Chain A
Amino acid sequence: MKNALQLAMALCLMAASSLAAAANYTLWINGRTGGGAIGNYNSFTYWGPGTTAAGVNKKSVNWDGRSSIASQSGKIRDALDCFCTGGNWCYIATHSAGDLILGYTLANYGGSARVKKNATANASGVCGDTDGTSQTGWNIKWVRAASGAGGGSELSDVGSWAVSEALVKDLKTTTARAMYNHNTTRNVWFYMYAGAKGTAYSGILPGQDDEAVAYHSTGGVAGAAGGSYCNPSDWLCNDLTLGTAANEGGSAKWSYHSVSFRDDAEAYNHYANGNWGGIVGVVRSAMVNSAL
């Protein structure tokens, strides 16, 4: 009897481990300032309480939020290798410069050979190999970008942020836009969530903004430089349109970028405030409903 129970338990564990290898994960990639423990995928300090629902099997992809995009990209690649290879697939949420670092990573490394990993990370955030085989790129279902700074921010253009942070120069609008081809997403959709509750920097950020990033960036507007985009109620400024349509005035969005949320009520600012607040909260709700 005892041997039978032991056999049953062993078989259950084997079945459980093979089933656990095929899972969906929800990755959250932070923006400027960072805050979560790098390498600890359960450290949600940047976002809010770790107990808050935010998509299936949520993981916090922490990078330092002040070093350059290129120097921190490896942290993103480690996380993508961990949770988005083999039988595992990822939904991804980004905030602010998290959009820039993910876009850079996908454009430059999205077609590279990735060794399949087992989703069990060491203290540095690196996971072990599964069977040693590799695949082309990662398994990503889609991305939701809260206040995406893929197009940079004019706050970097004027020196509002400390030049001692290498990330700040990467966020200069012309540099961010030239850094990589933002249309190269490997056919993965970036759903953009653009907040408009910004006032303090309205003289610097063109059009509508959430106090850190303007609509041309949070709305995924293509081009070598920024521009002024607003809500339909702002008559003297071209509208940022919803979806993938060209904006009022004819400017295009980057391919595979779609505006899912435009803050017509000017209700959401840039800041999570340690409690999944601001525009991050809007994305969190979307992840809860759709990252299954």
Chain B
Amino acid sequence: MLLAVLVAAVGWLALRASGEAAPAAAAPAPPSAQGPQVFGQVDSQPAQPSAAERAGRRQQMIEHVQLTDHTYCSYLEGSKYPAGSRPMAQNPDQAYPNRPVTEMTPMRTGDRTSDPNILLQTSQSRVFMAANESVAFSLRAVTPDGSLVPLVVTRAVAAGIMTTGARPTTQVALAFADDGGGADPVAGDGAYAAVLTPAQTGLAGFHGTIRTEVRYTAGGKNGSLIFDVVYSPKLPAVWAGPPREVVEDGSLAFVLRADVRTPGRYVVTGRIDDARGRPFALATFNEVLGPGPNDIRLLVFGKLMHDGAPALPLTLRDVDGYLLKENTDPDRELMPRLEGPVLKSRTQSLNGISDDEAGGEERARYLAEFAKDRKLARDSLAAFDPAQPLPPSECGTPSR
């Protein structure tokens, strides 16, 4: 619209200028002493690209068509489900959040050195810990072929990591044992385990990263390793009342009532298994909550249920959540963890479950922009090389 106004204004000015008195003409130049020119001056022409340059440019344009097409088509496909309700297949590492984190690394013997002939198998049962939770650590040394290497833990101390200049926290000694008790399932198997429950130590009020440094000897050498957990001693909200389900707006929602003590942005995640116990979906709630009672809806999107055709009924399990604090560290206060099954749905069919794709302003905005990019790329290539067909689209040939 503004461009049209500009063009009209320029046109009006041009018409006005044509009616104005012409400026005084410059005095004519004296005739050339060399006689009349027969041939007109030839303008210099830009150098034509070589065949190789043209082929290279064409290849770049093809790649751009493919990139814009992939961007559009993958967004179209991926955004048919909302961000808060996704197939578990798209979240390969989120299915079992409460399983121990295990690692196997060469024994570290110095800042840059390690012994590849001794491998340390370690595990920790938590990385982020809510108030009153415990974490179990374990370590074992083996050779690359799996043979046990006798190990002795010489020192294990947990302390909060403080910023430079802050007063150090209490140090808590941990007793690693291979006696079949506590966190150690099997006595004498060469795996040493210890449990840290910050709430029962001088770290009870500490909020942040607790580092446990373990020094040990194995294979006649000294080694060390660290376990970090991020502890949150204060509960920003607690669960209140039994979970329930509702079919609304064409989707199945598991509804958890929370009593929010500290208002703010809450990020809550739950796992949904099908009737055969197979992980089916990941549901995430991410909204700002005010104080007091709030419903947290973990959605299984209707179209996801139609497309995935899971064996019904579905079960919500393993829910964790936190208050996200902006621009500060530590950045979260954890809610109580709901470990294991939380609610088995009573929904046994897809009655009332919609097959419609997700909508919304964000999706419309992205699809419009990506479609524009794709069209521009295709039009540019077509203009550059009209004789050649355009690359096929991942999601159907768009109109030119």
Contact = CB atoms under 8 A, between A and B. Distances in A.
- Do A and B belong to a common assembly? yes
Interface string A153-176: 010011110011010010011110
B6 A139 contact: no
A204 B330 CA distance: 28
B128 A12 contact: no
Nearest to A140: B366
B88 to A, nearest CB: 10
B20 A184 contact: no
Interface residues of A, number: 67
Nearest to A67: B329
Given A71-B329, A137-B362, A157-B226, A178 B127 contact: yes
Interface in A152-206: 154, 157-160, 163-164, 166, 169, 172-175, 177-178, 181-184, 186-187, 189, 200-201, 203-204, 206
A166 B101 contact: no
Nearest to B12: A4
Interface in A239-270: 252, 254-256
A53 interface: no
A47 interface: no
Given A175-B127, A178-B128, A290-B64, A139 B365 contact: yes
A130 interface: no
A224 interface: yes
A225 B330 contact: no
Nearest to B109: A203
Contacts of B78: 187, 256
Interface stretch (B67-75, B150-158, B191-199, B297-305): B67-75
Contacts of A187: 74-75, 78-79, 366
A110 interface: yes
Given A15-B2, A222-B92, A292-B64, 16 more contacts: A1-B20, A7-B9, A68-B329, A70-B328, A70-B329, A74-B326, A89-B369, A110-B83, A111-B84, A135-B361, A158-B226, A169-B161, A173-B103, A183-B90, A186-B362, A289-B63
Interface of B: 2-3, 5-6, 9-10, 13, 16, 20, 60, 63-64, 67, 71, 74-75, 78-79, 83-84, 86, 90-94, 99, 101-103, 105-106, 108, 111-114, 116, 124, 127-128, 161, 163-164, 209, 211, 225-226, 228, 230, 265, 267, 269, 282, 284, 286, 324-331, 360-362, 365-366, 369-370, 373
23 contacts: A8-B13, A11-B9, A12-B6, A67-B329, A70-B325, A71-B331, A108-B265, A108-B286, A111-B286, A158-B111, A172-B226, A174-B101, A174-B103, A175-B209, A183-B90, A183-B93, A183-B94, A187-B79, A203-B114, A222-B92, A225-B101, A252-B92, A289-B60
